[in-house]
């Protein structure tokens, strides 16, 4: 049960919010991965939120930071907004839908024509940057494209929402079951899921902050304390 | 059994009727289930179409040659001059076709005189219909081998005056909107003629803008199969792949393959569709067929290379990527695939692989960089907890500590005062008065101490 819950929580690692606090939290629990199988092991609020244990002052600072992040990136500032946002993510974010549309236009196109298409978009640099991402990862991504971006955002919002007190813990776990089932349906490994999600982050921010995305992607898959170094996809 | 019996219709020169009958019967005489029945049906269909085409052409020619002759008189004249022509109109068309066959076998025999026998009562109708551009377009479009030739399309529009062309443009556009399966060069020609790419909602704009490789060049006229149905299914498969409906694309593609199996264009579509649904073995199978027919298809090598890579066959993958790079050294996917493959091989063989130098990969790539360029130095670890000095402790609690000191001193003074009063005056009411601020100070102090950051 605990392992499954950790699996569910792990899906937010490659979300735009990043995994550094999550990993910091995992590092702060002594012998976490040794104790995780034992019956005494309890899932702490810190693990649920993906935040390390803070003193009161730091906690206040982080809360303020999360509040600003939720407000500026998702226009979420209360429980009602959060639920609305979560429901909209289940339908599909604008980025995922746009990625699908763009991928359709190039899916049956030979490479030389793709290059021509890109060159023809000289006047619209932003659009060209997005097409470049779609073309660059077309062969690497599964049929689901960047769907993992929505799943990761969904899980991340649930966890941060719980941290801010916008959503109940039981509701979080119920929702995470949904996102886990979606992830399992469309992806076959953590690598594949992580790539899809990270490409989604690049796509959503127009290919800027590439280094940050790469670091987070690498860290999520390779950090010795990361969930994905200790869990199996087919758990 | 006559061809009309086989087609299950009355003899006619109407191609639409013939085609409709043929399409309906195709479901019964499927080439795979009943090859003999299909051959019989196909022969009847082709003869009927040929006869209809020839017949109509001759009617037209007769009218041009003899403008003074009335239509009804013609027929009587022709019948009178050719007593061998059956009078029953149902059998006339068939007669034409059968005689035509005899004529083609003995071109010197001019006696049969069947050329004019189609001048039946349908003349008027066919005259008006045939003059419609849609019908001519349909005739051209229905013949796959004519459809693929720019020359044929040019011939169709060559005789039109500018005025006529303008008048017919809407009709042409309407027709092309419903019939989009044309090779790139034909689309280019049609675009030049009718400025199709400037139309705001023309749905095939991309087909004239980009070459999707929907060539008809691999269709062999010597083969005996329903190419019309084949290209229709192939186009469906293409549209489905373009819509990223890969499973449906495969379904349509396999139906097309059952009609004609030697078209690399369809092999490519199937190879890509199978790759996208992660059925790499099938993808390799169809891409291998493609590459057997066209060994310069760079994309074919790239897709097959990735399919091999995903299945763990790095040797084959590497060979395919090398071929692709040899064809197009700038192909990004080929370079990336090659780098990934060589890296995987190196890992597998513990460094015993010679890597080919690559030039093109300069941009960041998550998949590639994670494996090749990222190191553990990039990993972040939590900062160790800070050890406090008096200064840092003061800085951390600079709002609470002064209050604690102030209230602490105040509290001490009160306690001192109580003791003094108790010893010297022994005046109970004064002691009781002082106990109240002491308890308040103590409670506040406890709260302040609780607020201290450690």
Residue B110 lies in a domain: yes
> Quick one: B73 and B154 in the same domain?
no
- Give the pLDDT mean for B352-380: 74
Query: Does residue A70 or residue A40 have the better pLDDT?
Result: A70
- Give the pLDDT mean for B359-379: 80
> Quick one: B182 and B76 in the same domain?
no
**Least CB-CB distance to A217: which of B246, B277, B370?**
B370
The pLDDT mean for chain A works out to 90
Q: Which of the four pLDDT bands, split at 50, 70 and 90, describes residue B155?
A: confident
pLDDT tens digits for range B90-129: 444 444 444 544 444 444 444 433 333 333 333 344 344 4
- Give the CA angle between residues B157, B160, B165 to the nearest 5°: 85
- Give the pLDDT mean for A8-30: 88
Query: Does residue A38 or residue B234 have the better pLDDT?
Result: B234
Q: Roughly how many angstroms between the first and final C-alpha of chain A, as a whole number?
A: 11
Residue B81 has pLDDT above 60, yes or no: no
CB contact at 8 A, B61 and B118: no
pLDDT tens digits for range A193-214: 999 999 999 999 887 778 889 9
Instruction: For residue B182, give the nearest of B203, B163, B158 by alpha carbon.
Output: B203
> Quick one: B90 and B150 in the same domain?
no
> Quick one: B7 and B108 in the same domain?
yes
Using a CB-CB cut-off of 8 Å, the residues of chain A touching B206 are 105
Query: Does residue B12 or residue B395 have the better pLDDT?
Result: B12
- Give the pLDDT mean for B206-216: 92
Residue B324 lies in a domain: no
Instruction: For residue B272, give the nearest of A197, A198, A111, A187 by alpha carbon.
Output: A111
- Give the pLDDT mean for B176-192: 93
CB contact at 8 A, B301 and B324: yes
> Quick one: B66 and B179 in the same domain?
no
> In chain B, what percentage of residues exceed pLDDT 90?
34
CB contact at 8 A, B338 and B325: yes
B185 conformational bin, left if phi > 0, alpha if psi -120 to 50, beta if neither? alpha
Handedness of CA B81, B84, B89, B94 (dihedral sign): negative
Residue B444 lies in a domain: yes
Residue A56 structure tokens:
């009161």
Instruction: For residue B338, give the nearest of B358, B352, B353 by alpha carbon.
Output: B358
- CB-CB under 8 Å, A52 with B298: no
Instruction: For residue B24, give the nearest of B179, B180, B229, B175 by alpha carbon.
Output: B229
Residue A82 has pLDDT above 90, yes or no: yes
pLDDT tens digits for range B283-293: 999 999 999 99
Rounded to whole angstroms, the Cα distance separating B102 from B127 reads 27
The pLDDT mean for chain B works out to 79
pLDDT given for residue B65 in this prediction: 58
**Least CB-CB distance to B378: which of A136, A139, A215?**
A215
Residue B325 structure tokens:
């790079």
- CB-CB under 8 Å, B333 with A112: no
- CB-CB under 8 Å, A28 with B382: yes
CB contact at 8 A, A75 and A81: yes
- Decide if B386 touches A, using CB distance below 8 A: no
> Quick one: B14 and B115 in the same domain?
yes
Residue B121 structure tokens:
């009562």
* Residue of chain A minimizing CA distance to B272: A108
pLDDT given for residue B356 in this prediction: 55
pLDDT given for residue A7 in this prediction: 92
Number of structural domains found in chain B: 3
- CB-CB under 8 Å, A103 with B244: yes
> Quick one: B7 and B125 in the same domain?
yes
Rounded to whole angstroms, the Cα distance separating A52 from A75 reads 25
Q: What is the DSSP letter of B161?
A: -
Residue B152 lies in a domain: yes
Residue A223 structure tokens:
């950090």
Of B105, B129, B153, the last residue of a domain is B129
- Decide if A213 touches B, using CB distance below 8 A: yes
Q: Which domain holds residue B140?
A: 132-209
pLDDT given for residue B258 in this prediction: 94
pLDDT given for residue A46 in this prediction: 84
pLDDT given for residue B17 in this prediction: 83
What is the length of chain B? 454
> Quick one: B12 and B91 in the same domain?
yes
- Decide if A97 touches B, using CB distance below 8 A: no
Residue A186 has pLDDT above 90, yes or no: yes
pLDDT tens digits for range B9-38: 888 888 778 877 877 887 787 766 777 787
- CB-CB under 8 Å, B299 with A110: yes
pLDDT given for residue B411 in this prediction: 82
Residue B196 lies in a domain: yes
- CB-CB under 8 Å, A218 with B370: yes
Q: Which of the four pLDDT bands, split at 50, 70 and 90, describes residue B387?
A: low
Of B79, B103, B129, the last residue of a domain is B129
Rounded to whole angstroms, the Cα distance separating B124 from B132 reads 13
CB contact at 8 A, B445 and B411: yes
User: Over the range B146-161, which residues count as b (16 or more CB within 10 Å of their CB) and which as e?
Assistant: ebbbeeebeebbeeee
> Quick one: B137 and B175 in the same domain?
yes
Handedness of CA B81, B84, B88, B90 (dihedral sign): negative
Query: Does residue B389 or residue B134 have the better pLDDT?
Result: B134
Residue B80 has pLDDT above 70, yes or no: no
pLDDT given for residue A59 in this prediction: 78
**Poorest-pLDDT segment among B63-72, B179-188, B196-205:** B63-72
Residue A54 has pLDDT above 90, yes or no: no
Q: Which of the four pLDDT bands, split at 50, 70 and 90, describes residue A100?
A: very high
Q: Which of the four pLDDT bands, split at 50, 70 and 90, describes residue B325?
A: very high
- Decide if A100 touches B, using CB distance below 8 A: yes
Handedness of CA B123, B129, B135, B140 (dihedral sign): positive
> Quick one: B84 and B174 in the same domain?
no
> Quick one: B24 and B121 in the same domain?
yes
- Give the pLDDT mean for B374-384: 74
Name the most confidently modeled range: B156-160, B263-267, B362-366: B263-267
Instruction: For residue B85, give the nearest of B116, B123, B122 by alpha carbon.
Output: B116
Rounded to whole angstroms, the Cα distance separating B71 from B57 reads 15
Residue B78 has pLDDT above 80, yes or no: no
Give whole-number Cα distances, B14 to B25, B75, B190, B229, in Å.
17, 19, 27, 19
Of B147, B181, B209, the last residue of a domain is B209
User: Over the range B42-77, which residues count as b (16 or more CB within 10 Å of their CB) and which as e?
Assistant: bebbebbbebbebbbebbbebeeeeeeeeeeebbee
Residue B201 has pLDDT above 60, yes or no: yes
- CB-CB under 8 Å, B374 with A214: yes
What ipTM is given for this predicted complex?
0.90
Residue B48 lies in a domain: yes
Using a CB-CB cut-off of 8 Å, the residues of chain A touching B244 are 100, 103-104, 107, 143
Residue B361 has pLDDT above 80, yes or no: no
- Give the pLDDT mean for A166-183: 93
| Alpha carbon of A110: minimum distance to chain B alpha carbons (Å) | 6
Q: How many C-beta atoms lie closer than 10 Å to residue A204's C-beta?
A: 20
Using a CB-CB cut-off of 8 Å, the residues of chain B touching A218 are 369-370, 374, 378-379
DSSP 3-state helix, strand, coil percentages of chain A (rounded to 5)?
70, 0, 30
Q: Is residue B226 classed as helix, strand or coil in its secondary structure?
A: coil
- Give the pLDDT mean for B389-401: 77
> Quick one: B177 and B138 in the same domain?
yes
Judge residue B107's burial from the number of C-beta atoms within 10 Å of its C-beta, 0-12 exposed, 13-18 middle, 19 or more buried. exposed
- Give the CA angle between residues A221, A226, A230 to the nearest 5°: 95
């Amino acid at each position: 049960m605990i392992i499954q819950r950790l699996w569910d929580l792990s899906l937010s690692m490659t979300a735009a919010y990043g995994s550094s606090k999550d990993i910091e939290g995992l590092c702060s629990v002594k012998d976490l991965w040794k104790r995780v199988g034992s019956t005494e092991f309890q899932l702490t609020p810190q693990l649920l939120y993906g935040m390390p244990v803070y003193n009161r002052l730091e906690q206040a600072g982080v809360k303020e930071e999360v509040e600003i992040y939720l407000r500026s990136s998702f226009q979420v500032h209360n429980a009602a907004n959060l639920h609305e946002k979560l429901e909209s993510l289940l339908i599909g974010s604008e980025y995922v839908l746009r990625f699908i549309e763009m991928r359709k236009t190039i899916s049956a196109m030979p490479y030389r024509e793709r290059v021509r298409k890109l060159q023809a978009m000289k006047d619209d640099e932003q659009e060209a940057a997005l097409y470049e991402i779609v073309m660059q990862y077309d062969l690497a991504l599964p049929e689901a494209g960047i769907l993992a971006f929505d799943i990761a955002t969904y899980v991340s919002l649930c966890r941060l929402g719980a941290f801010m007190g916008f959503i109940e813990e039981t509701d979080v776990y119920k929702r995470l079951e949904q996102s886990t089932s979606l992830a399992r349906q469309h992806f076959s490994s953590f690598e594949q899921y992580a790539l899809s999600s990270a490409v989604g982050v690049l796509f959503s921010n127009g290919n800027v902050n590439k280094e940050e995305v790469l670091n987070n992607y690498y860290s999520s898959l390779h950090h010795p304390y990361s969930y994905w170094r200790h869990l199996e996809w087919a758990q | 059994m006559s061809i009309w019996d086989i087609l299950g219709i009355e003899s006619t020169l109407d191609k639409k009727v013939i085609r409709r009958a043929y399409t309906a019967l195709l479901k019964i005489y499927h080439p795979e289930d009943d090859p003999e029945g299909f051959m019989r049906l196909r022969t009847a269909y082709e003869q009927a179409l040929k006869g209809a085409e020839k017949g109509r052409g001759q009617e037209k020619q007769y009218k041009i040659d003899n403008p003074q002759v009335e239509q009804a008189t013609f027929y009587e004249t022709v019948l009178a001059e050719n007593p061998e022509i059956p009078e029953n109109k149902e059998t006339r068309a068939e007669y034409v076709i059968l005689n035509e066959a005899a004529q083609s076998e003995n071109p010197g025999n001019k006696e049969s005189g069947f050329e004019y026998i189609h001048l039946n009562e349908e003349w008027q109708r066919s005259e008006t219909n045939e003059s419609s551009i849609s019908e001519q377009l349909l005739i051209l479009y229905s013949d796959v081998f004519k459809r693929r030739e720019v020359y044929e399309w040019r011939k169709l529009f060559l005789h039109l005056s500018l005025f006529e062309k303008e008048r017919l443009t809407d009709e042409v556009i309407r027709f092309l909107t419903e019939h989009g399966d044309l090779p790139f060069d034909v689309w280019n020609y049609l675009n030049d003629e009718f400025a199709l790419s400037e139309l705001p909602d023309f749905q095939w704009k991309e087909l004239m803008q980009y070459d999707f490789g929907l060539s008809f060049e691999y269709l062999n006229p010597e083969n005996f199969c329903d190419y019309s149905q084949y290209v229709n299914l192939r186009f469906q498969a293409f549209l489905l792949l373009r819509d990223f409906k890969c499973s449906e694309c495969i379904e349509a593609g396999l139906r097309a393959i059952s009609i004609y199996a030697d078209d690399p264009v369809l092999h490519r579509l199937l190879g890509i569709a199978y790759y996208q649904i992660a059925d790499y073995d099938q993808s390799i199978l169809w891409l291998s067929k493609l590459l057997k027919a066209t060994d310069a298809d760079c994309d074919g090598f790239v897709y097959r290379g990735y399919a091999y890579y995903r299945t763990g066959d790095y040797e084959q993958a590497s060979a395919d990527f090398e071929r692709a790079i040899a064809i197009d050294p700038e192909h990004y996917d080929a370079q990336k695939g090659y780098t990934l493959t060589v890296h995987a091989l190196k890992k597998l063989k513990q460094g015993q692989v010679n890597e080919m130098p690559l030039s093109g990969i300069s941009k960041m790539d998550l998949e590639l960089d994670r494996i090749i360029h990222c190191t553990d130095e990039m990993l972040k670890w939590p900062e160790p907890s800070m050890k406090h000095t008096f200064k840092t402790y003061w800085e951390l609690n600079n709002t609470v500590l002064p209050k604690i000191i102030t209230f602490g001193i105040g509290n001490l003074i009160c306690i001192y005062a109580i003791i003094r009063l108790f010893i010297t005056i022994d005046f109970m009411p004064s002691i009781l008065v002082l106990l109240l601020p002491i308890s308040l100070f103590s409670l506040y102090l406890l709260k302040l101490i609780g607020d201290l950051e450690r």
